[in-house]
Structure 1
Amino acid sequence: MMSLWDALRMNMMISYQELVRTFLNVMCDQDVQFFSGICTINKFIPW
């Protein structure tokens, strides 16, 4: 059985991944040249 602490850590990790994905998608949509490499990499990360 999963402990409350494990569930909380998993929830925080998922929230962090969503935050990073949202930030990178916004940066990619704006075609910022500095982030173009990160945007390309982000499309292959199966989050």
Structure 2
Amino acid sequence: MPTTQQSPQDEQEKLLDEAIQAVKVQSFQMKRCLCFLYLKELLAFLS
């Protein structure tokens, strides 16, 4: 199979897209964790 060479700009765009996706995933997980912590505190306060 022939390998295709990516230009440096294409490679940078691919790396940027991967980094942005990783940040989005981490952001979602942090928000979910914070919501869970707030819920735990709220339930403890209400009990």
- Normalised to the residue count of structure 1, the TM-score between the two structures is 0.61
* Structure 2 residue runs without a partner (length 5+): 37-47
Question: Moved runs in structure 1, 4+ residues, more than 4 A?
Answer: none
How many residue pairs are counted as aligned between the two chains? 32
Q: How high is the sequence identity, in percent, across the aligned residues?
A: 9
- Normalised to the residue count of structure 2, the TM-score between the two structures is 0.61
Say which structure is richer in helix: 2
Specify which structure has the bigger relative contact order, considering alpha-carbon pairs within 8 angstroms and separated by 6 or more residues: 1
Question: Root-mean-square deviation (CA), in Å?
Answer: 1.3
